[in-house]
Chains A and B, each alone.
Chain A
Amino acid sequence: MTWLDLALNHKGMDRIKGIGAPPIPKWSLLTRVLPFAFSCNLFCAFYFCAGMVGLSLGEKHFIQGGIAQDLRSDGRKRLTYRPLYVETGVIPQANGSARVRIGATEVVSSVKAELGKPGSLQPDKGRVTIYVDCSPTAAPMFEGRGGDELSTDLSVALQRCLLGGKSGAGAGIDLSSLIVVEGKICWDLYIDCLVISSDGNLLDTLGAAIKLAASFLISFVTDMRNSNNIILILFLKAALSNTGIPRVHVAAGASGDDNTEVDISDEEFLQFDTSDIPVIVTLTKIGRHYIVDATSEEESEMNSAVSISVNRKGHICGLTKRGGAGLDPSIILDMISVAKHVSEQLINKLDSEIAAAEAGEEES
């Protein structure tokens, strides 16, 4: 993500200008303004907030005034996260999984690894696919195809933040470590996320969940061995306790054709280095101040929001701006430095969770 993208009003993020649609009025008025309400249904999907939040004028002033005074509705300061709860290994069939809850926003993510053929353009890199699904349990409007719009937006934003550009450059996850045999066999990682409950700040929660799920994804080492047999055997069975991608022994065929013997070991695993996976910090601008970790009420009041993915070294891996209001470039620079500062606490928190979970695993 570059300045150019911001300047060109990157499509997909700023597509609706000046959403003038009124917030959904409360119950009794709904019968009178139902046509408006129906159209609001469609517009709201373009925000990353999951739900029509009806706020009265008094409530809006309360939120805006509170933020101006560094005191939000739930007592937090502007740059404080809600309490973060983490549980890993929740999906036994997946190679790695995590369930993250920030406040009332809850997300489950799972990482599955399968062997596949690398693309012809990037024969030395593995592939990662990120897919987000918004469950209707999070909001009634996600029923049927209602959640598709938001799901696609989130998937694309995550891909941008974590995987870099089309050429594979600048990816947060090191794709070249996923290769088994260059040009022939590589690991395909499928990252699937499910939004169970939504109360604002979906991107941050999803980013944290993916980082945690990937941290528990145990990786592999390829071991070239000479052999005369040219049979492709695929035993994709994640064995033992918390599963993981097993060690892969690859025997190259004598003539170097497509069929190679792949023997996936059930016993040997190695740790995947995921300390470089970035976390995503979303800064929401309301009035003249920015807040971190907005609830859905606060998100409905926002002018614009910038999501920045920062890795452990403090480098920026991706940046997305949403919302109709334009931002002065100096504000964006300021937001970036604030995000870097805030991301340190988030990364530390996640690391301590990972360490605690690993320690727990070693004991058991």
Chain B
Amino acid sequence: MEYVSPEGLRLDGRRPMEMRQIRAEIGAVAKADGSAVFEMGNTKVIAAVYGPREVQHRSQQMSDQALVRCEYSMANFSTGDRMRKPKGDRRSTEISLVIRQTMEACILTHLMPRSQIDIFVQVLQADGGTRSACINAATLALADAGIPLRDLVTSCSAGYLNSTPLLDLNYVEDSAGGPDVTVGFLPKLDKVTLLQVQNLLNCVILGRFSALVVGKMDSKLPIDTFENVMQLAIEGCKAIANYIREILLENTKQLEYRRGL
């Protein structure tokens, strides 16, 4: 099937290096300490942050840093076919773990010992790139909650279909079977904090990364192409970071206005 037409247009009319339209909103859940809605094209995700607060299970308390917990759940109606079990399946558990590790790396946990920070992410509509949308939403929600962060974490996915690197895959392109690289990036520090590659890689990556990734035999990605794809995803992350920064500035101006400053 052709994912990139000869004129260079993808299935939804985008160019290969073009991201979907992003939209973010802060403060969707009034009761949470911090919350945000993040949309990437048709993928819509809500994140809510509760914390820092008292640890619920004493045994998990850490005396020198905060405990970060995360749960990822999808709504029944988020995918085309109605899902029976919205939580607790393996994919949700894996993504919860991934988001937790990514956010934990950028929260200054040593400033809040013996406390707990809960990040809850709920997918309202899934159309590819839910992982990335969740990380972006979680960053906004953490910022809204006023939790000290090392840097904003932004995330974007990229793939390689019909010999073209594509940015920000949607569901159809994602399920095409080509490689799918999700990158979590810290824009100010210029560091990659999350790198997940699916459906792929039959090569050993040496040099800058010391990860051995073994995958299916049917799709191979030579290492320089992989670097291109990853670089493309990083560019996408930078663009998202700019947008997130604008949203946060706008929000702060609103807060100033309401306080009469």
Q: Which residues of A are in contact with B by a Cβ distance under 8 Å?
A: 27, 30-31, 34, 51, 90-94, 97, 104, 106, 108, 110, 112, 131, 133, 135-140, 143-145, 190, 192, 194, 196-199
Residue in A34, A90, A136 with the greatest tally of chain B CB atoms within 10 Å: A136
Additional A-B contacts beyond A90-B124, A190-B82 (10; CB < 8 A): A94-B77, A135-B120, A137-B120, A138-B29, A138-B31, A140-B56, A192-B77, A196-B122, A197-B30, A199-B30
Contact status of A93 and B35, CB under 8 A, knowing A137-B29, A140-B50, A143-B71: no
Contact A112 B77 (CB under 8 A): yes
Contacts of A145 in B (CB 8 A): 88
From the candidates A94, A104, A106, A137, name the one contacting B47 in the complex (CB within 8 A).
Answer: A137
**In the complex, what distance in Å separates the CA atom of A192 from the CA atom of B83?**
10
Bound Cα distance A94, B58 (Å): 43
* A196-B50 Cα distance, complex, nearest whole Å: 14
B61-90 interface (Cβ within 8 A of A): 69, 71, 73, 75-77, 79-80, 82, 86-88
How distant is A283 from chain B, measured CB to nearest CB, in Å?
23
Q: Which of B137-161 contact A (CB under 8 A)?
A: none
The complex places the Cα of A192 from the Cα of B77 at a distance, in Å, of 7
List B1-35 residues whose CB lies under 8 Å from chain A.
28-32, 35
Q: Is the CB of A34 within 8 A of B58?
A: yes
The reply to whether A136 and B77 contact each other, CB–CB distance below 8 Å, is no
Decide yes or no whether B198 CB sits under 8 A from chain A. Answer: no
- How many A-B residue pairs lie within 8 Å, measured between CB atoms? 90
Taking each of B35, B47, B50, B73, which has the highest tally of chain A beta carbons within 10 Å of its own beta carbon?
B73
B75 contacts which of A30, A31, A194 (Cβ < 8 Å)?
A194
Contact of B29 among A106, A131, A133 (CB under 8 A): A106
A143 to B70, CA, bound (A): 9
B83 to nearest A CB, angstroms?
9
Q: Beyond A27-B54, A136-B120, is A192–B48 a contact (Cβ under 8 Å)? A: no
Q: How far is the CA of A51 from the CA of B30 in the complex (A)?
A: 14
Which residues of chain A are within 8 angstroms of B31 by Cβ–Cβ distance? 51, 104, 138-139, 197-199
Given contacts A137-B32, A192-B82, contact A108 B71 (CB under 8 A): no
Q: Is B46 an interface residue (CB 8 A)?
A: yes
Give the residue of A51, A108, A190, A199 whose beta carbon is less than 8 angstroms from that of B124: A108
Are the C-beta atoms of B118 and A93 separated by less than 8 Å? no
A97 → B minimal CB distance (Å) = 7
- Nearest A-chain residue to B125, judged by Cβ: A91
CB neighbours (8 Å) of A91 from chain B are 77, 124-125
Instruction: Judge if B251 is at the interface, Cβ distance under 8 Å.
Output: no
Chain A positions within 8 Å of B50 at CB level: 140
**A110–B77 contact, CB under 8 A?**
yes
A115 vs chain B, min Cβ distance (A): 14
Q: How far is the CA of A91 from the CA of B44 in the complex (A)?
A: 10
Give the chain B neighbours of A135 by CB distance below 8 A: 46, 73, 75, 120, 122
The smallest beta-carbon distance between B29 and chain A, in angstroms, is: 4
Looking across the interface, which residue of chain B has its beta carbon closest to that of A90? Answer: B124
- Contact A104 to B118, CB < 8 A, known contacts A112-B77, A144-B87: no
Q: How far is the CA of A199 from the CA of B69 in the complex (A)?
A: 23
Q: Mark B111-140, 1 if CB is under 8 A from A, else 0.
A: 000000010111011000000000000000
